[in-house]
Structure 1
Amino acid sequence: MVLLVASLLVGGATSCKSKKKLAKEKAAAEYAMKVDNAKKDLTAIINGSTDWTSDQMADRIAKIKDYNIQDEEVKGLIKQAEAKVEDVRAAEMRKAEEERLRREEEARIRAKQSEFAVIDNQFEAVANANGVDNANNQIQMALQYFETPDIPVLIIISQNGGFNDYDRPTTITKFLNYLKDKKVYKYRVESAKKNGMGKITELELITK
């Protein structure tokens, strides 16, 4: 009986030690896996090989830091990854600003096109007139929008760095007769100056 009890006690102690050893090995394996996954994710962030946003990258880095991994390589990778996140955030902000400016420019162009749609449509009517008499009638209708028949018309042929290159200046009457002869309107109104009565005193066109 004594031997049996002793045997059971020894067996129980051995079993307890085995469980502790297994638990320790399991914890070590889990820690090693965390370290390995952390290195992989941090390296992917640094190399830009993920499709994560800057916020998603930052969240992953924060989670890795919460592991409190005592590994010098991981610590170094964290610093590099955090620097990468800042670069990505800056790029995202630049892209967002470029997109905002693009939308504003598109809205400005649409507003301008809407503002000058009447003039553009009238020029189209002159170019597409059926016969000389109809074209002349359309020209007279167009001239009603202008202060005089001789107001200057400037035609932009190219734009570069905020500067415009212009074709030879002409007048509204000459331009309307040009449309009548060529039967095509390949421009759009870019800007117009008006007097106090709302009549156009200078017109700027641009090639479509």
Structure 2
Amino acid sequence: MKIIWTLTLLMIPGAMTLSLTGHSGGEINITCTYQDRHTGNAKYFCKVLWLKCSDLIKTKEKDKWVNSGRFFLYDDTGAAVFTVIFRNLSEQDSGKYKCGVDKLGIDSYTEVNLNVITAPKTVSVSSPSPSTTTSSSSSITTPPISLNSQPSTSDFTLDSPSVSNGLCLIIVVSVVLPLLIAGLVSCIVTVCMKRQARAKVVCQ
């Protein structure tokens, strides 16, 4: 993750020292202001080594970006500010720097104490998500059990009407048939008795 620090510095000789912490792999964005009468002067950003400040980037170009390695400088003469971008920071970049205007006599500058630390490693939490989806897929084995149990119950419900119908038919036949036979016998007996009665009357 890129971390950008933006600082606005008013450059008064020896008047200001800034402490800044950056992260390894990130960048800083420093905006330095100056007096209008110095718009024609060269602007620079240097690193202090003992009693000497070695220029990292220096230019007289106006209103355009100038690049030197990991450093970019833009002098906005209309606003009387110049911006320095320091990219791809590393822990070896920790130290003292100067953001200044080159002029006769004593330069106008601001000291920048930079401390670069290692950015904390981010731990990805998204990796366990596939395992949760695979574990949930194991629950798919349960539905076939309930599906297999349903046909067995439906078989019993389909067979039960035929059994009851057979029982009813047997009961009806066993009850009605004797009644029909008894009625038929009674009718035959009645007819025979009537015929015998008529025969007796004729004989007399």
Query: What TM-score do the two structures reach when normalised by structure 1?
Result: 0.25
Say which structure is richer in strand: 2
Query: What TM-score do the two structures reach when normalised by structure 2?
Result: 0.25
Say which structure is richer in helix: 1
Q: Which structure has the larger Rg over C-alpha atoms?
A: 2
Higher relative contact order (CA 8 A, sep 6+): 2
